[in-house]
Structure 1
C-alpha cells in the first residue's frame, strides 16, 4: 500500500545498520543495535512462523507497505536476529525435499519487541525532493514540472486503488473484526488517507501551475 510505498505511511527506511564488533550482551541477553526492521520482522513472525522466502513475500504485502525492505535485507536481518538469540530456525516439515528453514520468535525476541514497542519515538519528518524542486520553480521557474506532477499523481492513484482493493478483500462490510483485524484495518486507513491526500495535493499543484503558467496539461488521475 505505502511512503515510497504505506510503501509509505512513513518515509522509507531500510532498517539496515552495521553490526559492530559482533553481538553485544546486555543483562545476559544478546542484543543488536536499534533496528526497526528486526522488530518489523519479529512482528510478522509472531503473526505466522515462516521460511525466509515466505516471510519476505508476506512482508511485501503487509508491513512492507509502510516499512520497506528488500528480500536481501530481510535475509541478512534474519541471520543477525538468529545470531542474537531473538529467533531460531528449523528444517521445514517437507520431508527434506527443500532446504527451507522455518523461523520462529524466541522468548528473548519477544521481550526485545515488547521493550522496543514501549519506547517513545519522534514522528518522521516529510522529506521529498519534489518540494525542493517546486521551491526552485517558485524562484527561477517555470521549470515545466507538470509531467512530474502527473507521474506522481498516477503513482498515488495506483496505490490508493490497491489499498482500497485490500480493504474490500480483507475487511468486507458486515464482518465483525477481531482486535487484531481492527488495528490492521486502522493502519490501512492511514495508508488510504495518505495516498488520497497526496493525490488531492498533486492535482491542486497542477491546477496552480496551469493558472500561473498558462500551459495546458492532462487531467491528473481521479481518485478511484
Structure 2
C-alpha cells in the first residue's frame, strides 16, 4: 500500500486542506498506516502532479488554506488499487529476533523492553475500546459504519493478541 492510496481514501470521504487531512488521518487511518505531517504534504504535492487530486477554490478571508478533493483520475486509481490482489505480508518484528537471541544467550535485559511494549499495547487497546464505545454503540448502522467498525475490531484484536503474547513472553523470560 502507498500513502497516496490512504490519502485518496480520506479525500474521497471528505475533501479538505492539508492540516485537516493530517488531523483526520492521525485519528483514523494513521492508527494502522502512520505518516508524518511532512510526508502527507509531500505526498499531496506528488498526487497533485499526478492528477489524482485537484485543488478546490480558495475561500476568501484570513487564514485561507488550500483544500483538495480526489479527481476523477484519483477515483479511478483508488478503485484500481482496491481491486488489486495482495499477498499476505510476512511478519517482520524485531521482538521476535530479540526473543530468539534471548533463547540462545540466556537471561538478558529484554524483560524491560517487553514490559514497555506490553504497557504500550495495553494503552492502545484502552484507546481503541474507548473509540468503539463512543463511535460504535449503535447496532443499526450503515455498511460504511460497519466496515469502519470492522477495521477498529481488527486493531482491538491485534492489541489483545500482542498483550497475550507479551505476557507469555514475560512469563518465559522470568523462568
Normalising by the smaller structure, the TM-score range is over 0.9
More helix by share: 2
Looking at structure 1, the residues matched to 110 and 129 of structure 2 have their Cα atoms a distance apart, in angstroms, of 29
Alpha-carbon distance, 1:74 to partner: 0.4
Superposition RMSD in Å:
1.2
Identify the residue that residue 5 of structure 2 maps to in structure 1: 39
Q: Distance in 1 between matches of 2:112 and 2:57?
A: 51
Q: 1:199: which partner in 2? A: 163
Task: Confirm or deny: 8 A CA contact 1:52 1:75 kept in the other structure.
Answer: yes
The residue aligned with 2:143 is 179
Q: Deviations over 1:59-95 (max 9, x none)?
A: 00101111111110000000111111111113443x2
The answer to whether 1:54 aligns with 2:20 is yes
CA distance in structure 2 between the partners assigned to 1:154 and 1:114 by the alignment: 38
Unpaired runs of at least 5, structure 1: 1-34, 213-224
Matches for 1:72-91 after TM superposition, within 5 Å: 72-91=38-57
| Native 8 Å contact 1:51 1:92 kept in 2 | no
Are the equivalent residues in 2 in contact too, given 1:91–1:100 (CA < 8 A)? no
Q: Which residue of 1 aligns with 2:61?
A: 96
Query: Could you tell me the TM-score, scaled by structure 2's length?
Result: 0.96
**TM-score, scaled to structure 1:** 0.75
Aligned twin of 1:124: 89
**4+ residue runs over 4 A deviation:** none
Equivalent in the alignment of 2:106: 141
Matched, 1:209 2:168: no
5+ residue gaps, structure 2, are: none
* Offset at residue 96 of structure 1 (A): 2.7
For residues 108 and 45 of structure 1, what CA distance do their matches in structure 2 show? 13
SS of 2:56 mapped into structure 1: strand
Structure scoring higher RCO (CA < 8 A, sep ≥ 6) equals: 1
- CA distance in 2: counterparts of 1:188 and 1:121, whole angstroms: 21
